[in-house]
Structure 1
């Protein structure tokens, strides 16, 4: 998902998958895949509830159920096609994050039954599934340690509930205008919606442009 924009802008360093996979100047400096045993149980439970899962590896995505409206809505919102179907894609492969497609009223159910994971909602139809100690903030800490910066020197923009930890920890956190109120409450600044040049306006607002 990053290849095209990375090539255009010459970016070689990334914090990916809510901090579970971090690349610094083309070199992987952090890999924290999901444990296979608990992933098996999560897949079984989600399948029983007819909740699809998208498996996110280092190079691509696969989904375990075909033609699900929630998956289609979520992937369309990030301008991606429906992933190829492979229910066994996680076998023998490092999976750094899953996208679990379910309504918000299921969040507490999954959190209570799978304490080894964090379920962070990024869309009305989906949550990110990460290790319990995983977050974008952690990935940023690993990146800036490599760079020799401090957290006070960092800036971040976010629009989902999975951005709360990140905006709290960076030196300056900016919530998009389309963000949930819970995220805006912890941000240092609020800019316009992502569809209304919110990033550019936010960069000007905080003095970086």
Structure 2
């Protein structure tokens, strides 16, 4: 088989519902790499939140922040921070409405509240503590992603007020906020531009709503795989559907695709 470029989402794809990487997945990725395939991550997580999985799987290439910050073999090749003037407007609007905001650069995550039940619930789902309280973070660093804790029924108002931004629901209480023209698909396109791979050489694996763009993009020429635990909208975007993550769906798909035995 010709050498392939493999992108893996983390939560619900590499990580099972217990936030662990199944042994079958580790073995499949190790075999795929030994067979000459390039392995990378495509995630909504920040670079500092990739350390554990990167070390566990020995991966130093990734599309992070849903495409806003891209690294190839340890070197940053693309970054698209949210413009400061847009962040200022978002901060003002959220403060007026009383909605918490979490800001992320490539090194740290902060919150506009010292404690909030909704922020705590979302962090608990990631097995992550409450972020550091800091009202000035967005003024002092390049922010690549924000988390806006807006009720679903109020989201249309923000969509209308901020056409420069995309709001992607990732948790019951929270949206990922990034530049409107950036996605995992955008990040993968930047990645490909800096390598010898083509879209036809690419395979992507995901399960979430923020994976739809990359699944649709790669399905045009390459292979995109949706996990069995994906919502129907995600499955419709993929060229292949595999079993649930808790049923070793990822390793089974990789074997079917001939990436490993």
TM-score over 0.5 for the alignment? yes
Is 1:204 aligned to 2:255, yes or no?
yes
Deviations 1:63-85 (A, max 9, x none): 11122222122222222222111
C-alpha change, 1:72 and 1:196, in structure 2 (3 Å) is farther
Output the CA distance in 2 between the equivalents of 1:142 and 1:166.
12
- In structure 2, what is the equivalent of residue 189 of structure 1? 240
Give the stretch that moved more between structures: 155-164 or 31-40.
155-164
| Pairing 1:100-179 to 2, within 5 Å after superposition | 100-170=148-218, 171-179=222-230
Deviations 1:122-144 (A, max 9, x none): 22221111111111111111112
Deviations 1:16-43 (A, max 9, x none): 1011111111111111100111111111
Bigger Rg, which one: 2
State the Cα distance separating 1:168 from its structure 2 match.
0.4
Give the stretch that moved more between structures: 60-69 or 31-40.
60-69
How many residues are treated as equivalent by the alignment?
Answer: 209
Contact preservation (8 Å) 1:160, 1:180: yes
Root-mean-square deviation (Å): 1.7
Contact preservation (8 Å) 1:123, 1:160: no
User: Which residues of structure 1 form unaligned runs of 5+?
Assistant: none
SS in structure 2 at match of 1:38: helix
Answer 1 or 2: higher relative contact order, Cα 8 Å, separation at least 6: 2
Q: TM-score, normalised by structure 2?
A: 0.75
| Pairing 1:37-76 to 2, within 5 Å after superposition | 37-76=85-124
